[in-house]
């Protein structure tokens, strides 16, 4: 990806965490920094303001709870994306004909028998 170089200053703990995360994920520090900036700048201004407020005014517990809530939202979205992708692969050619329980059961038996 062509782009421009930027520089930033961060405290030692953040730099250490950046290095460790980059190594663990097999990405460069530059790639992680760019992804982080893209995520942050893609947030609505009100959300960025709220993040700064929690960082400045909240307790460590508030910050921890905020990160957990964000993590749950990301994982829930990942699950929904995965669920949709799997559902798309499970479409039946004769899905419109499956209007009764008996038709659904017969199709299930045919599909599972084919998998063997």
Percent of the chain with pLDDT over 70: 93
H helix intervals, the chain: 12-25, 29-42, 45-57, 60-89, 101-114
Nearby residues of 58 by Cβ (< 8 Å), 6 or more positions away = 66
Rounded to 10°, the helix 29-42/12-25 angle is: 110
35-90: per-residue pLDDT in tens? 999 999 999 999 999 999 999 999 999 999 999 999 999 999 999 999 999 888 87
Please report the pLDDT score of residue 49 as a whole number.
98
- How does DSSP classify residue 94? T
Judge if pTM exceeds 0.85: no
Q: What are the tokens at 16?
A: 């250490």
């Amino acid at each position: 990806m062509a782009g421009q170089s930027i520089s930033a200053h961060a405290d030692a703990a953040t730099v250490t965490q950046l290095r460790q995360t980059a190594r663990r994920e097999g990405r460069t520090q530059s790639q992680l920094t760019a992804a982080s900036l893209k995520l942050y700048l893609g947030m609505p201004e009100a959300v960025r303001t709220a993040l700064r407020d929690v960082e400045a005014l909240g307790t460590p517990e508030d910050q921890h709870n905020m990160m957990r809530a964000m993590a749950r939202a990301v994982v829930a979205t990942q699950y929904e994306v995965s669920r949709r992708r799997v559902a798309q692969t499970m479409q039946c050619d004769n899905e419109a004909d499956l209007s009764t329980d008996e038709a659904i059961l017969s199709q299930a038996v045919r599909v599972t028998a084919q998998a063997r």
